[in-house]
């Protein structure tokens, strides 16, 4: 009887790879995609090629900083329709395999498959994706979702001149300790840099130390659910189910980066009103009401803060969503110039 495996398939440097595929002359050069493609303008990096990453450029970085770190980079504007089309070809290719496919985003998916040779399946997937899209992907193989997701990181290319053959990695209960024990806690899927710092403050710096941490102490410091969950992650615990049910968005958000800082309170409020209106249309199209509204403000030079408000009742009413966003805006200290505004609506049940 075949064993059940979870495979995590992730396109390598997706957006940059799409741009290089249609501009072959850029192969081997540092490529940065973000905003309008103008590194002197406001905007952030959407993705960077491996050559650009070698200079310290990464997603979410301001384009101007990316240009300082890698002045020889080729900067390109975001072209969402092209990326969406490539993503559709990617997922269409995955669905041809005898597996349950759960799409996570434009460039990644889980597959649940019964097979005696998951590495052979991974190799077939990689070859088919390359033929169908012209792009390379990495495949993580695990006995649950957490381990498969983490395994993909070990399968990624180690050099920018192209992926080596057999581009997959297996991470299971058998090799979990040897692979993960000495790694920092933020190597775990679900633990970010901020949580890792809090864990470090508690004397927990590695996955092994977190796995051995006292449950009661973790619960006292991080909460009765979250604390024990962190330790479960350190043991490699995770779900094995992969679902092909249609993705349901948890929220809808819109944001704008301004080319010139905003200082006028009325102008800031007008922009929040516009963003809230766009979010309200997204909520209406989704067919599920908003239950919470959050506003994000990035002050110059690059300090980001968020505040949120739970709505009195679930709603799709644009006026109510806008009212809530403007109420949240009043919670911010607005004596500093604003370079970015964002509004997000978290969704409830229909």
Which of the residues 102, 108, 209, 346 is marked catalytic? 108
Retrieve residue 214's tokens. 């006292």
Name the residue with tokens 């992730």: 10
Residue 183 CB: number of other CB atoms within 10 A?
14
- Cα separation values, 305 from 301, 302, 335, Å: 13, 10, 14
Distance CA 91, CA 348 (A): 27
Q: Give the residue from 113, 169, 112, 114 showing the smallest Cα distance to 137.
A: 169
108 catalytically annotated? yes
Alpha carbon 83 to its chain's center: 16
The dihedral over CA atoms of 62, 64, 65, 71, expressed in degrees to the nearest 10, equals 140
Contact by Cβ (8 Å): 304, 255: no
Distance CA 106, CA 37 (A): 21
The 8 Å CB, 24+ separation contacts for 109-113 are: 109/8, 109/9, 110/6, 110/7, 110/8, 110/9, 110/145, 110/148, 110/242, 111/6, 111/7, 111/8, 111/9, 111/242, 112/4, 112/5, 112/6, 112/7, 112/240, 112/241, 112/242, 113/4, 113/5, 113/7
Retrieve residue 273's tokens. 């009103």
Q: Which residues are catalytic?
A: 108
């Amino acid at each position: 009887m075949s064993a059940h495996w979870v495979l995590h398939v992730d396109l390598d440097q997706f957006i940059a790879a799409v741009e290089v595929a249609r501009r072959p002359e850029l192969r081997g050069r540092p490529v940065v995609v973000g905003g309008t493609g103008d590194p002197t303008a406001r905007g952030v990096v959407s993705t960077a090629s491996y050559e650009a990453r070698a200079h310290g450029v990464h997603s979410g970085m301001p384009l101007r900083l990316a240009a300082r770190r890698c002045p020889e980079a080729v900067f390109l504007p975001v072209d969402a329709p092209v990326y969406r089309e490539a993503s559709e070809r990617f997922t269409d290719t995955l669905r041809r395999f005898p597996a349950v496919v759960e799409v996570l985003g434009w460039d990644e998916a889980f597959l649940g498959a019964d097979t005696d040779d998951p590495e052979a399946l991974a190799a077939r997937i990689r070859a088919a994706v390359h033929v169908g899209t012209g792009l390379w992907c990495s495949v993580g193989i695990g006995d649950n979702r957490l381990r498969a997701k983490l395994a993909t990181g070990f399968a990624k290319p180690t050099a920018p001149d192209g992926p080596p053959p057999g581009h997959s990695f297996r991470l299971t209960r058998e090799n979990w300790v040897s692979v993960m024990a000495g790694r920092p806690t933020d190597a775990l899927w679900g633990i970010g840099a901020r949580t890792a710092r809090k864990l470090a403050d508690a004397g927990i710096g590695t996955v092994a130390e977190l796995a051995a941490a006292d449950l009661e102490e973790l619960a006292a410091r991080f909460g009765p659910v979250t604390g024990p969950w962190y330790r479960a992650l350190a043991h490699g615990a995770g779900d094995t189910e992969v679902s092909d049910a249609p993705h349901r968005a948890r929220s809808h958000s819109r944001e704008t980066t301004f080319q010139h800082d905003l200082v006028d309170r009325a102008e800031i409020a007008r922009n929040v009103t516009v963003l809230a209106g766009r979010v309200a249309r997204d909520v209406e199209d989704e067919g599920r009401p908003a239950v919470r509204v959050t506003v994000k403000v990035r002050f110059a030079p690059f300090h980001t803060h968020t505040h949120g408000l739970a709505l009195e009742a679930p709603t799709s009413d644009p006026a109510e969503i806008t009212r809530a966003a403007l109420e949240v805006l009043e919670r911010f200290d607005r004596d500093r110039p604003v370079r970015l505004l964002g509004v997000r609506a978290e969704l409830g049940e229909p």
